[in-house]
Amino acid sequence: YELGPAAAAYGDGRYGLGLAIMRRFYADYLSGEEDGRDPLFCSLNMDFRGLPPVLLTAAALDPLRDDAEALGLKLAAAHVPHRYILYPGAPHGFLKMAPEVEVAARAVRDAADHLREYWGA
């Protein structure tokens, strides 16, 4: 499993999630290199065909942001209707900050709007 440029830029822990803990999680979860390709570990390796519409959100300061961008490309290649929203200034785990932090509250509203639009919820 390869980490992208966002991991180098934002993975020092200042934004909530650091590379050291990420590597520990990977080491605890994976028993070998082949496990990193398992779709149960990395959803980027799954078959996306036939999925319903997806709202894909990412925090701009998240070391995992590149995965969200890669997921958007995979969804497009599989012709899955999707919308990608990047939240400027948001760190990993920012949704927990709603409703006190506006960017998090906006992300929750965006998710609710998506559910209403596609699912009539």
Q: What band does 29 get if pLDDT is binned at 50, 70 and 90?
A: confident
What are the Cα distances from residue 50, in Å, to 12, 69, 78?
37, 20, 8
Q: With 90 as the cut, is the pLDDT of residue 46 above it?
A: yes
Mean pLDDT on 75-85: 97
Q: For residue 82, what are its two tokens? A: 């999707």
Is the bond into 5 cis (omega within 30 degrees of 0)? no
Confidence of residue 1 (pLDDT cuts 50, 70, 90): low
pLDDT digits (tens, 9 = 90+) for 50-72: 999 999 999 999 999 999 999 99
Residue 59's domain spans which residues?
5-119
> Contact 22/15 with Cβ under 8 angstroms?
no
pLDDT of 121 over the 70 cut: no
pLDDT of residue 42: 85
Mean of pLDDT over the chain: 92
The total number of structural domains in the chain stands at 1
> Would you call 6 exposed, middle or buried from its count of C-beta atoms within 10 A (0-12, 13-18, 19+)?
buried
Residue 102's CATH number: 3.40.50.1820
